[in-house]
Amino acid sequence: ANLTQLLTEQRKHVTPALSRLHDHIIVKGQGSKVWDETGAEFIDFNAGIGVTNLGHSHPAVTAAVIHQAQQVSHVQCSIGFSLPYLQLVEALRPMMPHESLDTFFFWNSGSEAIEMALKLVKRATNRNNVIAMVGSYHGRTHGASGITRSKPIYTQHTGPTMNGVYATPFPYWHSLGVDPSTPEDELVRLAIYQLELLIKTQTAPTDVAALFIEPVIGEGGYVPAPAAWLNYLREFCDKHGILLVLDEVQSGFGRTGKLFAAEHVPGFKPDVLVFAKGLANGYPLSGVASRKELMEKQEVGSIGGTYAGNAVACAAAVAVAEVFKTQPILENVNARSKELFDALYAIRDSPKTGHLVADIRGQGLMVAVEFRTEADPLTTKGLAAGTAIPKDIGKRIQKKCHDNGLLLLTTSCFDTIRFIPPLVITKDEMAQALKIFNAAVEEVAR
Ligand code: PMP
């Protein structure tokens, strides 16, 4: 088949409402690399937006998928169990960031799992309202986009979304309108003030079913939640009988250097944990974990879904869990993370490129660099007068990196490049990628 011709002719018939970074066909993926229809090779720092955490076509995952497809590919979850469904429950229980998360429901996507969590918290508390974080992204379905606060586009022109959603600032300098150099404890103090103000002025806490939070804000700019903020939220929720839902769709399965980002705060206990992406390394599967007592507050038969917990996807996830158990994936994340941060700090500290950088943040291999932009004076505060800041720094770097064999993503908000390579990326691949990135930054700075 002539792939270029296929691409040219058929892409016109794919909805134009789908944005696409590159008009290429990825025909092969192996570990941290992918190849397009022309044979061009790329180091993949997108990993399908933080999905193929164990690398493309991981042999153990592929073998599990082939095996399960040969046994039985679909067992509808309200009719019976597939073997991998129960094996996955068994594998996940000891992996949960808190032992109280002992009861599971599987779905296909992160958004659907968020929908499930929304219904779960409302049914469990008999309350209607929800508090979300400014900057958060929870998905594009109606309920999930209704609690998303990263960009208005997801709900634009779709009429009223779910009622009773309130948003409070994340302890992040952008949401609070303060300098990027503001110390973390001050950010937390300001965010606490805003949350307390919210329940004094906008909704009674006794009407709030749950608070939804990403432990590392994802699409909204890659901002880790300070431990003091999460600890405060736990106390706040306990005080008011509010459930705490942790969205680890992007941060879960090793991404931040722990199996779940919640573990960065010792003893931290979410009431509901939502996960997807890395769970099955590319096969559509998501999950909600909670306490049995909360799960029991839903009518039997009120939840379910045709493909929910698909047998092949569950088999992939069981293989993923086994890899985490037997291989030093997290050690690699932490070693590569240090190399990545060191390289970004060097860019910030260099007289050639430092003036471009507003902020560097993240955890493990969920890292971002934010560039200064004239459009946001917060990011240029303190710059020597007359320093020129190029426009669209992130997009230009992204393009140059692509042309030199490195796939990178921006985030939805602000001028930010994010780094989410497969967690198995090697030292050499990281060095090669950083060389390409550095050269692109220097070129833009010139
Ligand atoms: N929550 C978070 C934190 C996410 O990053 C995403 C996807 N980027 C979602 C939910 C939605 O997941 P999905 O795209 O699988 O519906």
Does residue 303's CB lie within 6 angstroms of at least one atom of ligand 1? no
Residue nearest to atom 10 of ligand 1 (CA): 138
- Phi/psi for 336 (5° steps) reads -70, -35
- Residue 233: pLDDT above 80? yes
Average pLDDT over residues 82-105: 98
At residue 382, the pLDDT reads: 84
Average pLDDT over residues 386-398: 94
Contact (CB, 8 A) for 250 and 261: no
Q: Where in 191-319 does DSSP place strands (E)?
A: 208-213, 216-217, 223-224, 243-247, 272-275, 286-290
Which tens digits make up the pLDDT trace of 262-289? 999 999 999 999 999 999 999 999 999 9
- Phi/psi for 389 (5° steps) reads -110, 120
CB-side exposure of 383: number of CA atoms within 13 Å? Answer: 24
At residue 381, the pLDDT reads: 87
Average pLDDT over residues 237-250: 98
- Residue 427: pLDDT above 90? yes
- Give the three-state DSSP class for 65: helix
> What percent of the chain is modeled with pLDDT above 70?
100
pLDDT band at residue 386, thresholds of 50, 70 and 90? confident
- Residue 412: pLDDT above 80? no
Which tens digits make up the pLDDT trace of 281-316? 999 999 999 999 999 999 999 999 999 999 999 999
For CATH 3.40.640.10, list the domain ranges present in the chain: 60-326
Amino acid (1-letter code) at residue 55: G
Q: Which of 325, 267, 243, 276 is nearest to 104 (CA)?
A: 276
The Å distance, Cα 195 to ligand 1 centre, comes to 24
Answer whether 0.95 is exceeded by the pTM: yes
Does residue 218's CB lie within 6 angstroms of at least one atom of ligand 1? yes
The Å distance, Cα 282 to ligand 1 centre, comes to 13
Shortest-distance atom of ligand 1 to CA 247: 3
Pocket test for ligand 1, best of 108, 249, 285 (most atoms within 8 A of CB): 249
The Å distance, Cα 385 to ligand 1 centre, comes to 41
Amino acid (1-letter code) at residue 396: R
Report the residue count for the chain: 446
Does residue 249's CB lie within 6 angstroms of at least one atom of ligand 1? yes
Q: Any residues with CB less than 8 A from the CB of 314 and at least 6 apart, and which?
A: 68, 82, 84, 85, 87, 88, 106, 280, 285
- Residue 443: pLDDT above 80? yes
281: left (phi over 0), alpha (psi -120 to 50) or beta: left
At residue 61, the pLDDT reads: 98
Contact (CB, 8 A) for 281 and 320: yes
* End-to-end Cα distance, the chain: 43
Q: Any residues with CB less than 8 A from the CB of 156 and at least 6 apart, and which?
A: none
Does residue 111's CB lie within 6 angstroms of at least one atom of ligand 1? yes
For CATH 3.90.1150.10, list the domain ranges present in the chain: 3-57+328-445
**Per-residue tokens: 345:** 């700090």
Please state, in angstroms and rounded to a whole number, the distance separating the CA atoms of residues 276 and 194: 30
221: left (phi over 0), alpha (psi -120 to 50) or beta: left
Shortest-distance atom of ligand 1 to CA 111: 16
381/288: higher pLDDT: 288
Does residue 135's CB lie within 6 angstroms of at least one atom of ligand 1? no
The Å distance, Cα 138 to ligand 1 centre, comes to 5
The Å distance, Cα 224 to ligand 1 centre, comes to 16
Please state, in angstroms and rounded to a whole number, the distance separating the CA atoms of residues 308 and 107: 4
Does residue 276's CB lie within 6 angstroms of at least one atom of ligand 1? yes
pLDDT band at residue 1, thresholds of 50, 70 and 90? low
- Give the three-state DSSP class for 130: strand
Contact (CB, 8 A) for 434 and 341: no
Average pLDDT over residues 193-209: 98
Fold of 60-326: Aspartate Aminotransferase; domain 2 (3.40.640)
325 sits in which H/E element: helix 311-326
Contact (CB, 8 A) for 310 and 74: yes
Please state, in angstroms and rounded to a whole number, the distance separating the CA atoms of residues 85 and 69: 14
Residue nearest to atom 1 of ligand 1 (CA): 138
Which tens digits make up the pLDDT trace of 340-379? 999 999 999 999 999 999 999 999 999 999 999 998 999 9
pLDDT band at residue 159, thresholds of 50, 70 and 90? confident
Does residue 203's CB lie within 6 angstroms of at least one atom of ligand 1? no
**Per-residue tokens: 16:** 């134009």
Query: How far is the CA of 332 from the CAs of 224, 364, 425, 431, in angstroms?
Result: 20, 10, 8, 14
Average pLDDT over residues 306-335: 98
Does residue 429's CB lie within 6 angstroms of at least one atom of ligand 1? no
- Residue 33: pLDDT above 80? yes
Lowest mean pLDDT: which of 100-104, 413-417, 435-439?
413-417
**83-92 and 311-326 helices cross at what angle (nearest 10)?**
30
Average pLDDT value for the chain: 96
The Å distance, Cα 142 to ligand 1 centre, comes to 13
The CATH architecture of the domain made up of 3-57+328-445 is Alpha-Beta Complex (3.90)
